[in-house]
Amino acid sequence: MSDHAEVMKGIHQYPGIRYPVLTPNLQGFHHAVCVLCAGLSIRGKHYAAKSDRSKIHLQPLWLTVSKRLYGMGCYEIALGDTTGVGTPGSMKRMLESVMKEIPPAALAVHCHDTYGQALANILTALQMGINVVDSSVSGLGGCPYAKGASGNVATEDLIYMLHGLGVDTGVNLCKVMEAGDFICKAVNKTTNSKVAQASFNA
């Protein structure tokens, strides 16, 4: 989280693509504004007024304040299972509840794979009309607020599932696996992607 300003300055940003960053405090928010981030993932309502003045879109994560934040003008509300304990059943119940107040077009899901339920949860969300999903190459990452939580669902596994459903993602799965392999070697980690493991061991 602390190096998003350097990352944003160092990458080539393509037109029409959002590059969201997580800003868990006001200092991080200001740093993100300075590098003109188009999408910010925040924690807490006190950023809303500032974001309106800065013309920055917000992507809050707290389910408990989803309705209030939507009313404040947040364009996208990401419902996050950062501990990875959710199941398709709980995902369905959560979305049914939230969608009574917020349209599916304004919702996204952020599923970690601690209990191996991320893809099943995402499929449930897709079937309910959600079309924005967070993922992480090689499933890297974790949750600093939940000890033992694994990373976000692997991008490679998500793409493989979407392609199997006939969804044209426009993403080259082989290239993503290559990127994941490069990153894992660079940080000395083992990929959490089942698709990558199966492909490299084939």
Which of 34, 143, 174, 184 is flagged as catalytic?
143
Is 143 labeled as catalytic in the residue annotation?
A: yes
Instruction: Output the CA angle 23-76-14, nearest 5 degrees.
Output: 75
- C-alpha closest to that of 19 among 3, 34, 2, 41: 41
Residue 190 CB-density burial (10 A; 0-12 exposed, 13-18 middle, 19+ buried):
exposed
E-strand ranges in the chain read 21-23, 39-42, 57-58, 77-81, 107-111
Contact predicate 181/191, CB 8 Å: yes
CA distance 127 to 28: 35
Residues designated catalytic: 143
